[in-house]
A and B are shown apart, each in its own frame.
Chain A
């Protein structure tokens, strides 16, 4: 051993909440960035959705729709009747891809949250972490935040790129569709809410299973309501208006609170050490 110990008179204490959250988040992000598989799995869905959206809007701008397509569109979305067919199709496609954008905050953070807990379980890093003078509620909050923030940023960034692309490639109707107040509201408010739901669901599932793939399969169910909403809108079963956005946001707030509460119940020091295997 090199050198002897000296008593430095250091007194350890509980770190303040901001320091704890920042420290845990920074560590989680470093860990995530060092895991190429995780980075790939996180970035692939937004890239695919973004590329598909830009290509679809661009294609609609270049190729005029057939009469059959226009009639089908008028049947599905009576509100666009009277618009120039090309503009109407572009607006419809641009809006449809915005619904798909809502998949990003469900898919991206789920993977990160699952890795955040199952990764610690399999590496046996939870016990020393829980031995530190920190609250498990704060730790859970920090872990949630660590998965939520990048996902929200990625979604907003993707929306920004999509918006820029629609502006340069699409028609006025398409630009109007993607900058409609309810969509701005959806991106600003519903994206973080969906992300939180996905993250806490991921953490909750991770407390019960040890395999990342199993957790992802179970957690994948979170996309079902979003996809269902998209299908319902495309087939004209549901009209997405301001009222339905507000109702859906309120539903998400309730679901977020419930899932966080359940995750908090599962995330107990003794449970983690004794029952998690």
Chain B
């Protein structure tokens, strides 16, 4: 997989405060990369560094094939950024806002018009294109801001808390948009503290608090910290001998009863689960359903952060 963003001990200090401390990242083309951390962790500063808006104190980065500090204008042309605030010209229309930015990104007038139309239609705002943005809801403004960030078809799209404060419908639109971007091979760098959203959207996740704490796929992080657990719901409720049978199956690391189910942790559930089903049926148990049990990413995050502290 091609690397589209690479940092090398990227550091940013403001006086005595180290906001971003020796960050090493490798982000691949076409992936949704989650950048998770608490408020004040330095996520926005990292974004500003990678979009060549502020200069690093030390370290370096290559973004979309361009060196940070040497080819900053090319970096800014190759990326799109959704800032924390939509930052739209509210007295002007949706159409004028997008065409203005299209022109600033060097698009020709017909292309800027075509792109503005395409994104306004995509975001369901075409019918309101001539209205001043000040009349828009927060969700509509956020959609507009995302359209503005993507208007020039950037290779990497940096999104800072894209669904914060949005109603479920608008948040769904934004998430679908991110999935669509990934579908056409664009890279999305998603800054968020919404762990559920990161879990749903991201191929890989970096836990970050001034420094990168861990990077991996959500599933690997879960498996590493919690193992891979499966829930066996029995009807009627499981008996002591059912639990004993389960524990005797090869490959089972741990098993316990919980709310009328047997929870089994096994490193290789694809191999172990069929054996477990057979053992339970042989013992006369009635299985209502078998479900993979995923701990919330929030639990994973908290465990990692606690371990670090």
Contact = CB atoms under 8 A, between A and B. Distances in A.
B89 A131 contact: no
Contacts of B184: 5-7
B250 interface: no
Contact of B106 (A9, A123, A133): A133
A12 B89 contact: no
B78 A10 contact: no
Given A2-B124, A4-B183, A12 B105 contact: yes
B40 to A, nearest CB: 15
Interface residues of A, number: 40
Contacts of A8: 115, 153
A2 B149 CA distance: 18
A15 B123 contact: no
A124 B85 contact: yes
B93 to A, nearest CB: 9
A19 interface: yes
Interface string A246-277: 00000000000000000000000110011000
A81 interface: no
A96 to B, nearest CB: 39
A14 interface: yes
A23 B87 contact: no
Nearest to B143: A1
A239 B110 CA distance: 58
A133 B76 contact: yes
Given A7-B185, A23-B100, A125-B87, A269 B54 contact: yes
Contacts of A3: 121-122
Contacts of A7: 153, 184-185
Contact of B88 (A2, A11, A125, A134): A125
Interface of B: 14, 48, 51, 53-55, 73-74, 76-78, 81, 83, 85-92, 96, 100-101, 103-107, 111, 115, 121-124, 132, 145, 148-149, 152-154, 173, 176-177, 180-181, 183-185
